[in-house]
Copies of this chain bind each other. A is one copy, B any other.
Amino acid sequence: MRQPMARMRPMAEEPWLDETQQRAWRAYLAMSKRLSTHLGRQLQRKFDLSPQDFEILVNLSEVPGRRMRAVELGRATQWEKSRLSHQLSRMERRGLVCREAVPGARYPEVVLTEQGYAAIVRAAPTHAASVRAIFADALEPELLDRFAEACAAISERLEEHETDPC
């Protein structure tokens, strides 16, 4: 989160985005800010989980043995290793996960504790229901498709630009 505002006609004469583009951009910014705030707050208040906690718990809970090397968890979440390490430390402190040495292996595995499993089982239904109520059911099937299409197109652009020497 964190969505920067864009100044659309900054200090200059010619607009860099036309009216339609500007409306779309502002609508997107407002929506995404609100959406993540809403979902995050609900998780926090009802289940004492941050969205980040939730993401880790989801990934661990889906895998057999509910355990994973940190590096796999990193691949699954697309998080940087240091971010992940910090997050796991905090979650370990709270008893949601623990790092368990594997005999003979160099690196420990991250294991979902009973408590962590209980937490995700409690939170997931409500969260999914919210996503459905606010996101999925807000859009006609056809509009939902176009929305997904637009997201994919933007992601594609991003991939092109990310390879650029910035």
The verdict on A94 contacting chain B, using a C-beta distance below 8 Å, is no
Number of residues of chain A lying within 8 A (CB) of chain B:
82
Q: A1-B36, A7-B128, A139-B154 are in contact. List 16 more A-B contacts (CB 8 A).
A: A4-B39, A10-B120, A17-B131, A20-B145, A21-B136, A24-B145, A24-B147, A25-B136, A28-B147, A30-B151, A31-B158, A34-B162, A35-B158, A137-B157, A146-B147, A147-B150
Among A23, A30, A35, A43, residue most surrounded by chain B Cβ atoms (within 10 Å): A35
Chain A contact residues, majority secondary structure: helix
Give the interface of A toward B (CB within 8 A): 1-8, 10-12, 16-17, 20-21, 23-25, 27-28, 30-36, 38-43, 45-46, 51-52, 54-55, 58-59, 61-62, 77-78, 120-121, 124-125, 127-139, 141, 143-158, 161-162, 166
Query: Which of A4, A5, A137: most chain B CB closer than 10 A?
Result: A4
Shortest Cβ distance from residue A3 to the other chain B in the assembled complex, whole angstroms: 5
Give min CB distance, A158 to chain B, whole Å. 5
Q: Which residues of B contact A38 (CB under 8 A)?
A: 158, 161-162
What chain B residues lie within 8 Å of A146 (beta carbons)? 143, 146-147, 150
